[in-house]
Amino acid sequence: MSRLPPMTVRLRLTLLYSALFLVSGVVLLVASYLVFRNAAVPNLIVVPGGSAHVTAAREAATQMKYQHVIRNSTDALHQGLLRSVIVLAGMTLVSIALGWLVAGRVLRPLREMTATTRHISERNLNERLALAGPRDELRELADTIDGLLARLETHVAEQQRFAANASHELRTPLALTQALLEVARDDPDRDDGELVERLHEVNARAIDLTEALLMLSRTDRESFTQEEVDLSLPAEEATETLLPLAEKRGVTIDTSGDPTPTHGSTALLLQLVTNLVHNAIVHNLPAGGTVWVRTGARPQGAELTVENTGEELSPQFVSTLTEPFLRGSERARTDHAGVGLGLAIVRSIVDAHEGILTLTPRHGGGLRVCVELPRGRES
């Protein structure tokens, strides 16, 4: 069985060009043939007159001449037609060759793009197609692929940083446990109670960290059931749960909330408000701090703002806070040893709900966190 060449775009374009050329050539040829055929036939006008005998003889001679002329002109026409067909066949071959060249030229950027894209992997994601030339459809495609590569590169870098940080953070409690156990082994007279207490503390921290990591991967990956939620309810619940902590730290919580319909996961939204209010309490002034928790329906969606007093923060510092494992320097001075995932979880929950998270430093110190979520159905 003979194998046909693969129907590449180049081949298809070539065939299309040549077919178009051939069809227009044939149409032109047929049209000119018809025109010439009609035009080439001379009219025979016989002028009556003279005797009947003479007239008959003249007419016969004229008819003969006329037939001869007709035959000659038809022969010439057919000759011309044959030559034109040969020229058309030759030109069609030329048009196939030209079409092949032109199609190759037009498609060259596409071939370059394919070659470059083929050898880009996660190792050289920094490479770009960077197609030069006019702003046409191919350039647009190349720019779109470059945009995709840029987003992928950022995402992969973020993931790698995250994995490195997570491993580092998980190693810390394990290393601490190891050190405590070694000390205990080398000193049999040591107080076991103290050791157990320290080990318990370290272990609890490791569990917190693992749970936060699990939470983060769940919100990043899992699709959750969407339901109609009144955002003011999880806000109220989170505030109530955290009230004892606020009292312990001398922080006042001021809550106000109208019904704020949105849709999403109640559990995740509760986690979101809890993280924000928890932050607002623990990263507050050492004494006499205030936290404001507000919810409200806005024309563009459901809005939650959590604001707190605290130390002065720079906009640059605030813009980095949602990075996983990033903790403010004041952590060393407070007794809250967070794992630095609270805001990363908040960001991923907001993303999963297609919302917008905005962090702004408060005038006079502290932070204002605003979460805008899609508007739910009014009940």
Ligand X SMILES: Nc1ncnc2c1ncn2[C@@H]1O[C@H](COP(=O)(O)OP(=O)(O)OP(=O)(O)O)[C@@H](O)[C@H]1O
Sites of contact with Mg ion (CB under 5 A): 279, 338, 342
Pick what 341 binds: ligand X, Mg ion, none; C-beta below 5 to 8 Å, kind-dependent.
Answer: ligand X
Cα–chain center distance at 17 = 36
Nearer to ligand X by Cβ, of 216 and 297: the residue is 216
The CB density around residue 13, as the number of other CB atoms within 10 Å, is 17
- Pick one of Mg ion, ligand X, none as the site partner of residue 339 (Cβ within 5 to 8 A by kind): ligand X
Query: Who's near 349: CB < 8 A, 6+ residues apart?
Result: 219, 268, 269, 271, 272
**CA 41 to CA 66: how far, in whole Å?**
10
Nearer to Mg ion, 229 or 341 (CB): 341
CA–CA gap between residue 115 and residue 52 (Å, rounded): 90
Q: With CB cut-offs between 5 and 8 Å by kind, which of ligand X, Mg ion, none does residue 263 bind?
A: none
Residue 310, binding choice from ligand X, Mg ion, none, Cβ under 5 to 8 Å by partner class: ligand X
For residue 365, the 8-state DSSP code is S
C-alpha torsion angle, residues 265, 278, 221, 142 (rounded to 10) = 110
Q: What are phi and psi of 260, to 5 degrees?
A: -130, 85
Beta carbon of residue 325, minimum distance to Mg ion (angstroms, whole number): 11
Q: Which does 304 bind (CB under 5 to 8 A by kind): Mg ion, ligand X, none?
A: none
Chain residues binding ligand X by CB under 6 A are 212, 279-280, 283, 308, 310, 321, 326-328, 331, 338-344, 366-367
Nearer of residues 279 and 348 to Mg ion, judged by Cβ: 279
Q: Write out the DSSP string of 10-60.
A: HHHHHHHHHHHHHHHHHHHHHHHHHHHHHHHS----PPP-S-HHHHHHHHH
Residue closer to Mg ion by CB (options 342, 376) is 342
Q: How far is the CB of 276 from Mg ion (least distance, A)?
A: 8
Least Å distance between CB 245 and ligand X?
12
Our CB check for ligand X shows the closer of 116 and 334 to be 334
C-alpha triplet 215, 217, 218: angle, nearest 5°: 65
Question: Closest distance between ligand X and the C-beta of residue 303, in Å?
Answer: 17
